Amino acid sequence: MTKKLFVKTFGCQMNVYDSARMVDLMRTLGFEETNSPEDADMIIFNTCHIREKASEKIFSELGRFRPLKEERRKQGRDLILVVAGCVVQAESEEFMNRAKFVDIALGPQTYHRLPEMLCRLEQKRKQRIIDVEFPAVAKFDSLPQACSNGVSSFLAIQEGCDRFCSYCVVPYTRGAEYSRSLKEIVAEARQLAETGTKDLMLLGQNVNAWHGEGLDGKPSDLSRLVAAVAEIDGIERIRYVTSYPSDFTDDMIAMHRDIPKVMPYLHLPIQSGSDRILKKMNRRYTRAEYEEIVAKLRAARPDIALSSDFIVGFPEETDEDFEQTMDLVRRVTFAQSYSFKYSARPGTPAAAMKNQVPEDVKTERLERLQALLIEQHAAYNAAFLGKETEILLEENAKKEGFLLGHTPQMQNVIIKAPESVLGQIIRVRIIKTAATTLDGELV
């Protein structure tokens, strides 16, 4: 009988990717994925630590599985609870103390050792296992390779970060920057293309810091890697997240102009529009430098959609600093964005800074910023009304009889169409728009 595995993922796209790889790995041990935790023999929580709210939510959700586990024990069966990801990495001891019913806790660098941990758990029933090392063998080398079942796939090309922004836990939870080899990436992309992938999202915490040896043996960067992936038949669309502004080069700008498969979409977080705050965040660029990249990108690819992340209420952020963020947003204009209140993460330099901003001030600033951003997203989408565009149909929409696809600019489009056209790129006319979704009709 196959055993059932339920996975719940929190946080970033890297976590979504890692979860898929853990499912693949567990499949080799006879586990099948299920959508209902009640049926599961094993539950994996893949956690996120980037903001405080995320980790609190995990503790409360985990608590819900405790009675289920106890009930199973009474029946003489078991429910193995595994917690993975960045929360575990950051606070493994505190974590295991708070969640006594968790069997295995593993950090993002040790997923490939999960089968071995399961085996150890079976041998010594009562012992709980914690594994949060940064092993010398990168997990990329030992996890199963391709992991895609649809037309859109993620492919992690880089992990970790050496930037040490003063608010961020990633350099501590994900470790030092590590780039996979170009050969490996191209081979995996080819395999994905052969199994139906048309849309490829290259993933990394600092994706444009990717570096390695090209096929010619010379040093290579993201622009060359993307050019190599673009050669693969079947891959029609290429995107990459997340980019760091000062690692963004003219060659990367040029690839948006020169390689048609590179989609007109870029997620380039600025975080703040105030140079003073950028400096305190240890972001190594100025607002003027950011605006210059944007100007060059728009010259190279006028239809490019820009997306960004913002943090409001960073320590010492004054009204004046915040107004500069508002001003930056008005000047640049974004098609999409994510904005957050600053959240102090233990162990990061910013958590120890004086003049933390009061919660109510953060709330008010976030509301004002989000109102402006939503207005911009809506205006951006409204400009597509009545126009024709191409969408790749990726999955069934929630609404019966409708499919969901994405435009080259990464907008969601809902369209009434038969399931048989899933996986195809089709021309549509946009008939209705809103801040997050467009309605289309077949042309």
State the residues that interact with ligand 5AD by CB under 6 A.
50-51, 167-168, 269, 271, 309, 311, 340, 342-343, 345
- Which region among 67-75, 116-124, 158-166, 373-381 touches ligand SF4 (by CB under 6 A)? 158-166
When the beta carbons of 204 and 408 are compared against ligand SF4, the nearer one is 204
Pull the structure tokens for residue 160: 């970790």
7 or 161: CB nearest ligand SF4: 161
Using CA atoms, how far apart are residues 128 and 150, in angstroms rounded to an integer?
36
**343 touches which of ligand 5AD, ligand SF4, none (CB within 5 to 8 A by kind)?**
ligand 5AD
Strands (E), 237-304: 237-241, 265-267
- Partner whose binding site includes residue 244, from ligand SF4, ligand 5AD, none (CB under 5 to 8 Å by kind): ligand SF4
Q: Supply the DSSP symbol for 149.
A: S
* Short-list 319, 279, 302, 306, CA closest to 373: 306
Q: How far is the CB of 7 from ligand 5AD (least distance, A)?
A: 21
Shortest separation between residue 137's beta carbon and ligand SF4, angstroms? 23
Q: How many Å apart are CA 243 and CA 247, to the nearest integer? A: 7
| Dihedral (CA of 268, 271, 274, 280) sign | negative
Q: Is 165 in the site for ligand SF4 (CB under 6 A)?
A: yes
Tell me the chain's radius of gyration from C-alpha atoms: 23
Q: Binds 205, which of ligand SF4, ligand 5AD, none (CB < 5 to 8 A, cut-off by type)? A: ligand SF4
Choose between 313 and 408: whose C-beta lies nearer to ligand SF4: 313
Candidate segments 30-38, 161-169, 225-233, 291-299, binder of ligand SF4 by CB under 6 A: 161-169
The C-alpha atoms of residue 34 and residue 23 are separated, in whole angstroms, by 10
CA 158 to chain centre: 12
Choose the contact partner of 307 out of ligand 5AD, ligand SF4, none; CB within 5 to 8 A by kind: none
Among residues 112 and 287, whose Cβ is nearest to ligand 5AD?
A: 287
Site for ligand SF4 contains 170 (CB under 6 A):
yes
| Least distance CB 251 / ligand 5AD (angstroms) | 23
In angstroms, the CA 1 to CA 39 distance is 13
The CA distance from 308 to 271, in Å, is 8
Out of ligand 5AD, ligand SF4, none, what residue 51 binds, judged by CB under 5 to 8 A for its kind, is: ligand 5AD
Q: Give, as ranges, the residues between 42 and 61 that touch ligand SF4 (CB under 6 A).
A: none
Does position 163 interact with ligand SF4 (CB under 6 A)? The reply is: yes
CB of 98 to ligand 5AD, least distance (A): 21
Q: Determine, following the binding rule CB under 6 A, whether residue 205 of this chain makes contact with ligand SF4.
A: yes
Partner from ligand SF4, ligand 5AD, none contacting 173, C-beta within 5 to 8 A by type: none
User: Peptide bond preceding 242: is omega within 30 degrees of 0, i.e. cis?
Assistant: yes
Give the DSSP letter of residue 176: S
Residue 314 lies near ligand SF4 (rule: CB under 6 A) = no
Is 296 a binder of ligand SF4 (CB under 6 A)? Answer: no
Q: Is 262 in contact with 230 (CB distance < 8 Å)? A: yes
Q: Is 161 in the site for ligand SF4 (CB under 6 A)?
A: yes
Output b/e per residue, 346-364; b: 16+ Cβ within 10 A: eebbbbeeeebbeeebbee
Establish if 311 lies at the interface with ligand SF4 (CB under 6 A): no
Q: Residue 39 carries which side chain, given as an amino acid letter?
A: D
Stretch that binds ligand SF4, among 165-173, 184-192, 350-358, 425-433 (CB under 6 A): 165-173
Rounded CA-CA distance 259/193 in Å is 18
Structure tokens at 128: 């709980």
Query: Could you give the CA distance from residue 356 to residue 76 in angstroms, rounded to a whole number?
Result: 51
Q: Which residue has the tokens 């980790």?
A: 55
- Distances from the Cα of 80 to the Cα of 23, 29, 31, 303, angstroms: 15, 14, 12, 49
Residue 6 contact partner, candidates ligand SF4, ligand 5AD, none, CB within 5 to 8 A by sort of partner: none
Both tokens assigned to 263: 């989609």
Smallest separation (angstroms) from ligand SF4 to the CB of 325: 16
Q: Which is nearer to ligand SF4, 366 or 414 (CB)?
A: 366
Q: Which of residues 209-248 bind ligand SF4 (CB under 6 A)?
A: 244
12 is an interface residue for ligand SF4 by CB under 6 A? no
**Of 220 and 343, which CB lies nearer to ligand 5AD in the complex structure?**
343
414 in contact with ligand SF4 (CB under 6 A): no
Which H or E run contains 129?
strand 129-131
Least distance in angstroms from the C-beta of 247 to ligand SF4: 9
In whole angstroms, what is the distance from residue 138 CA to residue 157 CA? Answer: 12
**Which residues bind to ligand SF4, rule: CB under 6 A?**
161, 163-165, 168, 170-171, 205-206, 244
